[in-house]
Amino acid sequence: MTKLLQINTSLFAGKGQSSQLAEQFVAEWRQNHPDTQVQVRDLANDGVPHLDAQRFSAFITPAEARSPEQQAVADYSEALIAELKAAEVIVLGLPMYNFGVPSQLKSYFDHIARAGISFRYTANGPEGLIKGKKVYVFAARGGLYAGTPLDSQTNYVRDFLRFIGITDVEFVYAEGLNIDADRKQSALHQAQDAIQRLAA
């Protein structure tokens, strides 16, 4: 059995274009891999709190010294990490907001980047501890950014995932969705072709 984790980050939850592309991929994947167990984390309807001083302090306080409130924060973070570690395939719906990733995704990343749990520091530099995963990222953009200096998402997401140990990352772009109807239709059609190819 394959475990697949779908992470939607659109403000519009399942109605966002990135979420819909991720959903199409998961549906196609399940047809081709019927033994797949799917878990969905929707960061719009079940958001991860933004990192603040209190939450960060809970992370770095030794377990034996944590207050009950701090332990609850650490347990929540570690549950997110355990969910990620359990998945073999990760599907990420990624809209672009104001040239960056959704703040909901940044909060999620802030809670799964934990020294000693998802990565560790060594004499040779940091080492990611979440390995052996395949990630598919469905990036939906209103304009045209891929391959330009304005695409702040691709390198950031790749670098973060690499930092925690995930190096096998495939991006599918659906761009120009807000330019005109023809460009939108063409972009979605190309993304759907990629879905069929990658989910085989």
What is the CB neighbour count within 10 angstroms for residue 83? 15
**Angle at 36 (CA atoms; ends 114, 5), nearest 5 degrees:** 25
Token code pair at residue 69: 């409130």
67 is in an annotated binding site: no
Helix axes of 53-60 and 68-86: crossing angle, nearest 10 degrees:
80
152 is in an annotated binding site: no
10 is in an annotated binding site: yes
For 14, 21, 180, 182, 186, the CA distances from 8, given in Å and listed in that order, are: 7, 10, 25, 26, 23
8 is in an annotated binding site: no
Nearby residues of 30 by Cβ (< 8 Å), 6 or more positions away:
36, 38
Nearest to 81 by CA among 121, 44, 41: 41
45 is in an annotated binding site: no
- The one-letter code for the residue type at 139 is A
**Where is the binding site for FMN, in residues?**
10, 96-99
**Where is the binding site, in residues?**
10, 96-99
